[in-house]
Amino acid sequence: MRNLIPPYDRPPLSKQLLSGAWDPPRLALRSPAETRTLGLDMRLGTAATGVDPAERLVHLDDGTRLPYEFLVVATGVRARRPSVPGADGTDGIHVLRTLDDALALRPRLRAGRRLVIVGAGFAGTETAATARALGVEVTLVERSALPFARVLGDTVGGFLTRTHRAHGVDVRTGVSVTGVQSRPGGRVGAVLLSDGSMVRADDVLLAVGSVPNTEWLDGSGLDVEDGLVCDRFCVAAPGVYAVGDVARWHHPRFGTSMRVEHRTNAAEQALTVAHNLLRPDRPRAFAPVPYFWTDQYDVRLQAYGHPRGHDQHVLVEGDLARDPSSSPTEPATGCPPSWPPACPRARCAPGGKPSPPAPRGRRPRPRRPPRGPSRRTPPSRPLTWRMPDHAGPWSVLACPGSGVGTRGHGP
């Protein structure tokens, strides 16, 4: 059973909500009045438990069988909860996916408290930055040798790691958690690591990824494989579409199936699906240039493209060699005031040649990749996108071998 909170935005959970700068009502995606004007039959607190695509029926946990003409699957993901010896039933073990999760962690983040974060992905590192700004002693435990390197390359991974260390985070890489020790009374007391060390903890945040919410589709005949599998029009079966974190769709530009857990992608994919529902005679393929941002300390990192598995990551603007300790420790300035985020005044520069600045307020679109075999072969020299700073002192972008359409060979 889900709770009765109206739909809310998740990116502020690890930033403004956790820092205390915002309270829950500010996260609402729409005001009650706006929601009323939509005339939705919104059934909060009700879970879908099954679907019968042949009969076009959705089963709900209150026993209702809901007929549909079109079904949009938008059930997102949930936090992965790894099995850690000693963690079950121990107080002070957190995940961060929902408003309730954030509200449970928020009062624990006080100066002098010790927080161990397991996993240096976006949720883990953003929480580390927010917690440091509140004076919490943070240890960040990461299994890989360099956080973010797999996704963003060594340069940016190194920069972010240095930035966290400069702000006082104890970053421990190349180790994993082997157990949790609790104190008398059942609250967590320490985390045990694979190198034999022990880190004292008042709270532990498990930030080790997510799992698509697809179990309710079991037995439906829909193709589920790390997300609901769709074609390029986001169609999973006749009359069934998927959007957002749960959707694994065929991206026609990249020529591969993809599932993207970023806010802008969810909004853009919803627009495409809405169009396809309304204009089945003229469906649009969903072929965005993926975009994400993350706010940590005074750093806003933004990336366009599919920055995985490339040979080279080239910084085209900003100075990653700057001493990160010169960044003051202060709460992340957080999300852009509007959604999706306003775009930087970008000049896309394939081959390093700047094109004229995009008109103000319009989302820049990188050029299409060349047709032909170059799509499948790694580029001989990197294509880079320039992203002038627009949001603070550290709007930087490190680019993969190609911003769009071409997949380089990973290490």
Ligand X SMILES: Cc1cc2nc3c(=O)[nH]c(=O)nc-3n(C[C@H](O)[C@H](O)[C@H](O)COP(=O)(O)OP(=O)(O)OC[C@H]3O[C@@H](n4cnc5c(N)ncnc54)[C@H](O)[C@@H]3O)c2cc1C
d(C-alpha 74, C-alpha 270), whole Å = 9
Q: Which is nearer to ligand X, 51 or 349 (CB)?
A: 51
Q: How many CB atoms lie within 10 A of CB 67?
A: 9
- Residue whose Cβ sits closest to ligand X: 244
Q: Which is nearer to ligand X, 148 or 293 (CB)?
A: 293
Least CB distance to ligand X at residue 336 (A)? 10
Least CB distance to ligand X at residue 191 (A)? 21
With CA atoms as reference, report the closest residue to 185 among 116, 281, 91.
91
Q: Look up residue 314 and give its amino acid.
A: V
Least CB distance to ligand X at residue 33 (A)? 21
Least CB distance to ligand X at residue 50 (A)? 9
Cβ proximity of 305 and 407 under 8 Å? no
d(C-alpha 58, C-alpha 80), whole Å = 26
Q: Which is nearer to ligand X, 101 or 311 (CB)?
A: 101
Name, in order, each residue with C-beta under 8 angstroms of 254's C-beta and a sequence gap of 6 or more.
Answer: 306, 404, 405, 407
Q: Which is nearer to ligand X, 96 or 299 (CB)?
A: 96
232, burial (CB in 10 Å: exposed 0-12, middle 13-18, buried 19+): middle
Residue keyed to tokens 């020529």 = 255
Least CB distance to ligand X at residue 20 (A)? 15
Least CB distance to ligand X at residue 334 (A)? 9
Interface residues with ligand X (CB under 6 A)?
2, 10-11, 13-14, 47-48, 74-77, 96-97, 123, 213, 216, 244-246, 261-264, 266, 292-294
Helix and strand numbers, DSSP H then E, in the chain: 6, 26
Least CB distance to ligand X at residue 214 (A)? 9
Least CB distance to ligand X at residue 18 (A)? 8
Q: Which is nearer to ligand X, 86 or 241 (CB)?
A: 241
Cβ proximity of 216 and 46 under 8 Å? no
Least CB distance to ligand X at residue 80 (A)? 12
132, burial (CB in 10 Å: exposed 0-12, middle 13-18, buried 19+): buried
The Cα angle at residue 300 between residues 294 and 303, in degrees rounded to 5: 65
Name, in order, each residue with C-beta under 8 angstroms of 75's C-beta and a sequence gap of 6 or more.
Answer: 48, 212, 213, 214, 216, 246
d(C-alpha 135, C-alpha 114), whole Å = 10
Q: Look up residue 76 and give its amino acid.
A: G
Q: Which is nearer to ligand X, 22 or 367 (CB)?
A: 22
Q: Which is nearer to ligand X, 9 or 154 (CB)?
A: 9
Q: Which is nearer to ligand X, 171 or 247 (CB)?
A: 247
Q: Which is nearer to ligand X, 120 or 266 (CB)?
A: 266
